[in-house]
């Protein structure tokens, strides 16, 4: 393992002003997204949509440091025969790959999930590296509800995340470690804080046990935030203050960067929260975005599966990427959203 090179890639993934495009929706998830805009989820439509994103020159060259791909996409060619992964490389962004194989019910723990995909992972990583992937992603899902999460769910998911991260580094691939505490429930921000703290502490304990080099990874956490169904929604300032406090308590400074998931926040909330955290600096690590929905909802709507809307889709994507790029430096203002509208 060449740790200097892993650290170089990890640092580039979280460079100031840039963040990661999570375009790794599995077939079921992209179908849901396409259903919402009335587009059939065929291989060609998925290709055309992602090609539109990767050919968005302004967004990709100025604000996107890396793209997380799904297995289908990494092997797919653009309409003119250029591999999609080459389009990404040509913009200067780094290609990455989702390597988990989704979740399964966790035995003895009703309502809880464990992420799977460790079998044959070493061989898969080697093929992805040869294709050009320089980082990977594995997402664990922790839900908050009555009597959950159990210590069992936190512990087995942290163990799998660390096993994945060690295998990635041995294959010279930077692991994005994503333990997501869902924001779907009616819990308040303090419950989210407390659960996320347990999850992050257990995850870093496992990473240490399994000898993962913290300098060669990126953390992708949720923010400390109110559950969507909670009657009392925390303000932008409270989310920023509690998230920064939580991360300072749990994430060693050796980690080069933290790239948040958006988790179901609105586009503008996700941007405002990231921006507000930068007002609380200096911070021990780079802090940026690795958004899926909060970067793609607008371009999906603008595109709606029509070739004549490609330019509009690219404008919508570039706008969100620029807003989040500014937020990653604490330079975003809500008036910039209104101007664009």
Annotated catalytic sites, by residue?
Answer: 178, 220
292 binds ligand 5MM (CB under 6 A): yes
Contact flags string 237-266 toward ligand 5MM, x per CB under 6 A: ------------------------xxx---
Angstrom distances, CA of residue 292 to CA of 85, 289, 337: 18, 9, 19
Residue 25 is a binding residue for ligand 5MM (CB under 6 A): yes
Is residue 291 a contact point for ligand 5MM (CB under 6 A)?
A: yes
- Let me know: does 259 contact 218? Beta carbons within 8 Å: yes
Q: Are 149 and 182 in contact (CB under 8 A)?
A: no
Taking CB positions, which residue lies at the least distance from ligand 5MM? Answer: 292
**Comparison of 179 and 292: residue with beta carbon closer to ligand 5MM:** 292
Residue ranges of E strands in 204-285:
218-219, 257-260
Q: Is 41 in the site for ligand 5MM (CB under 6 A)?
A: no
Distance CA 24, CA 267 (A): 18
CB of 33 to ligand 5MM, least distance (A): 9
In the complex with ligand 5MM, the residue whose CB is nearer, 29 or 201, is 29
279 — phi, psi (to 5°)? -75, -15
Secondary structure (H, E, C), 189-223: HHHHHHHHHHHHHHHHHHHHHCCCCHHHCEECCCC
- Structure tokens belonging to residue 225: 């935030």
Least distance CB 24 / ligand 5MM (angstroms): 5
C-alpha triplet 24, 46, 270: angle, nearest 5°: 45
Smallest separation, CB 231 to ligand 5MM (Å): 23
> Using CB under 6 A as the criterion, what x/- string covers residues 178-197 for binding ligand 5MM?
--x-----------------
How many residues of this chain interact with ligand 5MM, rule: CB under 6 A?
15
Rule CB under 6 A: which residues touch ligand 5MM?
22, 24-26, 29, 68, 139, 180, 261-263, 291-294
């Amino acid at each position: 393992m060449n740790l200097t090179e892993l650290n170089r890639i990890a640092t580039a993934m979280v460079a100031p002003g840039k963040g990661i495009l999570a375009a790794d929706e599995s077939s079921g998830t992209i179908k849901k997204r396409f259903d919402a805009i009335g587009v059939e989820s065929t291989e060609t439509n998925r290709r055309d949509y992602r090609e539109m994103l990767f050919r968005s020159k302004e967004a990709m060259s100025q604000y996107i440091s890396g793209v997380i791909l799904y297995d289908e996409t990494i092997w797919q060619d653009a309409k003119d025969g250029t591999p999609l992964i080459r389009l990404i490389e040509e913009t200067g962004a780094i290609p990455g790959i989702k390597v988990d194989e989704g979740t399964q019910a966790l035995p003895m723990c009703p309502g809880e999930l464990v992420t799977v995909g460790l079998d044959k992972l070493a061989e898969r990583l080697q093929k992805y590296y040869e294709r050009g992937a320089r980082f990977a992603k594995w997402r664990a899902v922790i839900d908050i509800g009555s009597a959950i999460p159990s210590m069992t769910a936190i512990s087995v998911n942290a163990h799998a995340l660390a096993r994945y991260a060690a295998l990635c580094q041995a294959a010279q691939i930077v692991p994005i470690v994503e333990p997501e505490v869902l924001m779907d429930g009616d819990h308040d921000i303090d419950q989210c804080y407390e659960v996320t703290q347990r999850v992050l502490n257990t995850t870093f304990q496992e990473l240490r046990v399994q000898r993962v080099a913290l300098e060669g990874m990126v953390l992708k956490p949720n923010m400390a935030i109110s559950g969507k169904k909670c009657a009392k929604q925390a303000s932008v300032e409270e989310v920023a203050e509690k998230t920064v406090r939580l991360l300072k308590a749990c994430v060693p400074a050796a980690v080069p960067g933290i790239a948040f998931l958006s988790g179901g926040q609105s586009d503008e909330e996700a941007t405002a929260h990231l921006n507000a955290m930068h007002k609380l600096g200096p911070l021990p690590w780079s802090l940026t975005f690795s958004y899926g929905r909060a970067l793609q909802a607008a371009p999906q709507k603008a595109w709606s599966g029509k070739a004549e809307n490609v330019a509009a889709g690219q404008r919508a994507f570039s706008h969100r990427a620029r807003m989040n790029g500014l937020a990653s430096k604490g330079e975003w203002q809500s008036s910039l959203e209104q101007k664009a509208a």
